[in-house]
Amino acid sequence: MKRMRIVDCLKSDIPIDDCIVAGWVRTKRESKENIFIEINDGSCLSNLQVVVGVGDSSFDIAQRLHTGASVYIQGSLVPSPAVGQTWELKPNIITVFGDADPESYPLQKKRHSFEFLREIAHLRPRTNTMGAIMRIRNQVSYAIHTFFQQKGFLYVHTPIITTSDCEGAGEMFQVTTLDLHNLPMVNGAIDYTKDFFGAKAALTVSGQLEGELLAMALGDIYTFGPTFRAENSNTTRHLSEFWMVEPEMAFATLEDDCSLAEEFLRFIFKWVLEKCQEDMQFFNERIKPGIIQNLELIVNSSFEIVTYTEAIEKLLQSKESFEFPVHWGMDLQTEHERWLTEKYFKKPIIVIHYPKTIKAFYMKLNDDNNTVRAMDVLVPGVGEIIGGSEREDRYDVLITRMKEMGLAPDDYWWYMDIRKFGSAPHAGFGLGFERAIQFITGMQNIRDVIPFPRTPGNARF
Amino acid sequence: MKRMRIVDCLKSDIPIDDCIVAGWVRTKRESKENIFIEINDGSCLSNLQVVVGVGDSSFDIAQRLHTGASVYIQGSLVPSPAVGQTWELKPNIITVFGDADPESYPLQKKRHSFEFLREIAHLRPRTNTMGAIMRIRNQVSYAIHTFFQQKGFLYVHTPIITTSDCEGAGEMFQVTTLDLHNLPMVNGAIDYTKDFFGAKAALTVSGQLEGELLAMALGDIYTFGPTFRAENSNTTRHLSEFWMVEPEMAFATLEDDCSLAEEFLRFIFKWVLEKCQEDMQFFNERIKPGIIQNLELIVNSSFEIVTYTEAIEKLLQSKESFEFPVHWGMDLQTEHERWLTEKYFKKPIIVIHYPKTIKAFYMKLNDDNNTVRAMDVLVPGVGEIIGGSEREDRYDVLITRMKEMGLAPDDYWWYMDIRKFGSAPHAGFGLGFERAIQFITGMQNIRDVIPFPRTPGNARF
């Protein structure tokens, strides 16, 4: 079945006599002399128009086709007289693999709401928007790998199931093979030594801690895998299951971390602007005007680095009335982040040196004993897109910090060992993949940038 | 901290006056005039030798260094008089970030058993073997992406948490946020409508079914993500959590599937032979002599396609005494697979058209109503490395097959919909990533080819 992809047909330099195309019927319309069928095979946003004349041998079969049918067409790729398309297909033989009953096929030729499409997530990859999302996810994924490979980072696979709890968060999914109707008990508590892993297990919220172990042996590494949050958040920015990219560099400081994040974002945005022009145009026209310009701005800007303290000063000096009042020690809210990057600096900024009280235990303490070597990258349009830090590499300081935060260093003995044996400065960050796709495409709801979203109440398909 | 990676130092064309290197001390030895320190930074198998003379300013600090210490060295890369290495480092300044107490650091200069190293999985990436494994995993991963990207396949992320059960297997991990000490009950059963996803949820055993949904919209796709089996298998070939690669092609048949699998394996093996020469040499010398030759054989062979029925005939005609007696209808055991590929055909083979009774419900039934359009790729050294099939795309036939196998088609309504609306021939296969790495490196135990293995009783780190 040597078929040609529609994306290749449409950019052909020459007519092709013997062309085989397969795909799904998007629309069909009839004029007096012709039937016009638009075929899409997922390889690009555009359809290929198939034109069947009244006397053609495939006229009867074409007449009986419906939206959603899958077809296999042998024919000739010829110049199209229609405006806006260079080529069209003149079929010799149309084979119908499977028709789609117009009474029951949900994806008829009309605009469907994103809410409705989420209910038929198994079919929505056949829509323009989800097709474009999937092609952009693909290119951004490969850009991520290519960026790190070019820089000599090793792709590592950190574990998904874990018996440790990264940030002391209670928002983890439990993983078990125990019979819940017949739980093994010991002294009134569940006996987890009887569970599959011999201990209470959960889905990871981050690969960072294990990533650190690997960086502290291999130099520069990155993860790109699924992570999980059992938060009951029904917002347009939260998923229970999402993919995360987490690079980690040995022998690196906060400054190296900022440079890497800037270079990384520029690289992937430039890549997607180059490789996904048609799809990006679609999002720019139909979803969020200005997003291409916004990405171009980031690609062409140098990022401004400001301390948290400076950022708070700018916010206090502003005349804006924020919903959340500004004071030193607070966590920046999206409204503050967006004001800083959109209104004040008018470009991407990296905020560094946050108060230790609002950041995780593993971030390196500054000499002021008050701030940590954290960094958040804020971009126009959404605010925070990357969060990272230099890691606390001093054994004693880390112990103190953990105790301050109510964590038991013994539970992290393996993490502590890295500080005991051959410790060194190291740094890394995390990028939520779906949030990045949301930012790139301008899609309003994060459930519409992943093929099968997992959210409270929904893990179907 | 602009350091140079050791891999780049060692292949330098010229001496470098101002060279900065960072890494971990692997060994130290002293002669009358010099201290020789071997440094490794994970960028390659080889160490860089640092030579400190008696009168040098960094002599004192060098003398106090131990195996495992992390150092940052400024110096000159100069030609080495020693045999087997082109360059060595003459240090000006040695900075010690973190020493490693020789009394307690577990990785001293001696050979450690793989069993022992599994107990310190947080430190074993600092060993030669695990370092080489990690570099090979990285290159194979990127080869996989590059292969599919070059062929126009889209990388898709199928869900990890699912409320459906792919192959009707009971060997799944349950995912829950219910309080197990206080389970919500209804009519004597657990009320899963109260669980996070509103239904009983589990970790996926395969992304295939969702992959099919996406292929039947986008054309050609592939997954590369973690999958899970709750089997209580303590073997050298089983992990509870492993990574899987699953391509799926719309408008493709069993024959297309076989071609793709052959081209795919050749591509990744060729890639790893080219990009990981030093590490492959290590495995060839230390772990399993002959593995390079075996990979070269596969890269240079055309694969032989044989039917299951032919394979059974060859086995019956052989004079071998197999542990499992051979008869038509049996599942091939590793001993049979290896005899076929190693002894009889002496090259990789693809066995097709297996009895329907031993294969999954989704494989396309042949006209004989007895065999299915399945395919297994068998390679010398291990036997099966890839399993795939053309999928049953006929709605009615699929319904019948599912009922035969005791499955309820209604549970798979979304999978059935793809056969109802615009169905078409499609095919795909699965490659277990860790088994592939095991095959490539010759490592005996699969727990030693993944950084943090999950097996019955173990999900530490």
- Is the pLDDT at B169 greater than 60, yes or no? no
Instruction: Compute the average pLDDT of residues B148-176.
Output: 87
**Treating both helix axes as pointing N-terminal to C-terminal, what angle do B128-150 and B254-275 enclose, rounded to 10 degrees?**
140
pLDDT-based confidence at B278, cuts 50/70/90? very high
Max alpha carbon distance in chain B (Å)? Answer: 86
Average pLDDT score, chain A: 95
Q: Which residues pair with A386 in a beta bridge?
A: A377, A431
**Treating both helix axes as pointing N-terminal to C-terminal, what angle do B413-420 and B208-218 enclose, rounded to 10 degrees?**
30
pLDDT-based confidence at A111, cuts 50/70/90? confident
- Is the pLDDT at A19 greater than 70, yes or no? yes
CB distance A303 to A262 below 8 Å: yes
- Which of A206, A251, A254, A455 best tests the B interface by mutation, with the highest count of B CBs <10 A? A251
The chain A residue lying nearest B224, using CA atoms, is A225
Within 10 A of A287 (CB to CB), how many other CB atoms are there? 15
d(CA A432, CA A455): 16
CB distance B351 to B308 below 8 Å: yes
Query: Measured between CB atoms, does B199 come within 8 Å of chain A?
Result: yes
Query: Measured between CB atoms, does B259 come within 8 Å of chain A?
Result: no
Residue with tokens 């947080």: B122
Taking only the tens place, the pLDDT of each residue in B362-419 is: 999 999 999 999 999 999 988 999 999 999 999 999 999 999 999 999 989 999 999 9
Give the DSSP per-residue string, A148-217.
Answer: HHHTTPEE----SEESS-TTS-S---EEE-S-TTS--EETTEE-GGGSTTSS-EEE-S-SHHHHHHHHHH
Query: Measured between CB atoms, does B458 come within 8 Å of chain A?
Result: yes
Q: Which residues on chain B are in Cβ contact (under 8 Å) with A232?
A: 196
Q: What is the pLDDT of residue B460?
A: 86
Q: Which residues on chain B are in Cβ contact (under 8 Å) with A420?
A: 98, 100-101, 104
Task: Verify whether the Cβ–Cβ distance B42 to A217 is below 8 Å.
Answer: yes
Give the containing element (helix H, strand E) for B95: strand B87-98
Taking only the tens place, the pLDDT of each residue in B88-146 is: 999 999 999 999 999 999 998 778 999 999 999 999 999 999 999 999 999 999 999 99
Q: What is the pLDDT of residue A83?
A: 86
Taking only the tens place, the pLDDT of each residue in B287-327 is: 999 999 999 999 999 999 999 999 999 999 998 999 999 99
Q: What is the pLDDT of residue B242?
A: 98
For β-strands A241-250 and A220-228, DSSP reports them as antiparallel
Task: Verify whether the Cβ–Cβ distance A1 to B425 is below 8 Å.
Answer: yes
The chain A residue lying nearest B243, using CA atoms, is A157
d(CA B197, CA B177): 9
Q: Which residues on chain A are in Cβ contact (under 8 Å) with B152?
A: 5, 7, 43
Closest alpha carbon to A162 in B80, B121, B425, B51:
B121
Task: Please name the member of A141, A145, A157 whose beta carbon is closest to the beta carbon of B243.
Answer: A157
Task: Verify whether the Cβ–Cβ distance B421 to A149 is below 8 Å.
Answer: no
A154-155, strands of its sheet edge to edge: A154-155, A220-228, A241-250, A426-432, A383-390, A371-379, A349-355, A304-307
Q: What is the pLDDT of residue A167?
A: 47
Q: What is the pLDDT of residue B170?
A: 65
Q: Report DSSP state, residue A343.
A: I
Q: Which residues pair with B88 in a beta bridge?
A: B78
367-426 of A, contacting B, C-beta below 8 A: 393, 414-415, 417-425
Taking only the tens place, the pLDDT of each residue in A315-363 is: 999 989 999 999 999 999 999 999 999 999 999 999 999 999 999 999 9
Q: What is the pLDDT of residue B245?
A: 98
Q: What is the pLDDT of residue A381?
A: 87
pLDDT-based confidence at B206, cuts 50/70/90? very high
State how far residue B9 is from chain A, nearest Cα, in angstroms.
Answer: 14
- Is the pLDDT at A166 greater than 80, yes or no? no
Q: Which domains does chain B have, with CATH numbers?
A: 6-107 (2.40.50.140), 126-160+204-448 (3.30.930.10)
Using CB atoms within 10 A of its CB, is residue A314 exposed (0-12), middle (13-18) or buried (19+)? Answer: middle
Query: Measured between CB atoms, does A43 come within 8 Å of chain B?
Result: yes
- Is the pLDDT at A398 greater than 70, yes or no? yes
Q: What is the pLDDT of residue B82?
A: 86
Average pLDDT score, chain B: 95
Q: What is the pLDDT of residue A39?
A: 98
One-letter amino acid at B90 equals K
d(CA B329, CA B318): 18
Sign of the dihedral through C-alpha A246, A249, A250, A251: negative
Taking only the tens place, the pLDDT of each residue in B24-63 is: 999 999 999 999 999 999 999 999 999 999 999 999 999 9
Closest alpha carbon to B70 in A370, A216, A65:
A216
- Which of A10, A48, A138 best tests the B interface by mutation, with the highest count of B CBs <10 A? A138
Query: Measured between CB atoms, does B201 come within 8 Å of chain A?
Result: yes
Q: Which residues on chain B are in Cβ contact (under 8 Å) with A205?
A: none
d(CA B432, CA B258): 17
Within 10 A of B440 (CB to CB), how many other CB atoms are there? 27
State how far residue A398 is from chain B, nearest Cα, in angstroms.
Answer: 14
The chain B residue lying nearest A227, using CA atoms, is B160
Q: What per-residue string of b and e applies to A201-232 under the rule 16 or more CB within 10 Å gives b?
A: bbbbbbbbbbbbbbbbbbbbbbbbbbbbbbbe
The chain A residue lying nearest B73, using CA atoms, is A251
Q: Report DSSP state, residue A358.
A: G
Closest alpha carbon to B324 in B310, B306, B305, B339:
B339
Q: What is the pLDDT of residue A1?
A: 56
Instruction: Compute the average pLDDT of residues A255-283.
Output: 98
Instruction: Compute the average pLDDT of residues B262-288.
Output: 98
54-113 of B, contacting A, C-beta below 8 A: 68-70, 72, 97-101, 104-105, 107
Q: Report DSSP state, residue A364.
A: P
- Is the pLDDT at B459 greater than 70, yes or no? yes
Task: Verify whether the Cβ–Cβ distance A251 to B72 is below 8 Å.
Answer: yes
Give the DSSP per-residue string, B361-396.
Answer: TTBPBPTTSSEEEEEEEEETTTEEEEEEEEB---HH
Q: What is the pLDDT of residue A2?
A: 76
- Is the pLDDT at A170 greater than 70, yes or no? no
Within 10 A of B359 (CB to CB), how many other CB atoms are there? 18
One-letter amino acid at B317 equals Q
- Is the pLDDT at A382 greater than 90, yes or no? no
Percent of chain B predicted with pLDDT > 70: 98
d(CA B47, CA B26): 8
Task: Please name the member of A68, A218, A450 whose beta carbon is closest to the beta carbon of B157.
Answer: A450
Q: What is the pLDDT of residue B223?
A: 98
d(CA A154, CA A220): 6
- Is the pLDDT at A78 greater than 60, yes or no? yes
d(CA A129, CA A131): 5
In chain A the first and final C-alpha atoms are separated, in Å, by 29
Task: Verify whether the Cβ–Cβ distance B461 to A414 is below 8 Å.
Answer: yes
Taking only the tens place, the pLDDT of each residue in A287-324 is: 999 999 999 999 999 999 999 999 999 999 998 999 99
Query: Measured between CB atoms, does A22 come within 8 Å of chain B?
Result: yes
Q: Which residues pair with A19 in a beta bridge?
A: A75
d(CA A440, CA A430): 17
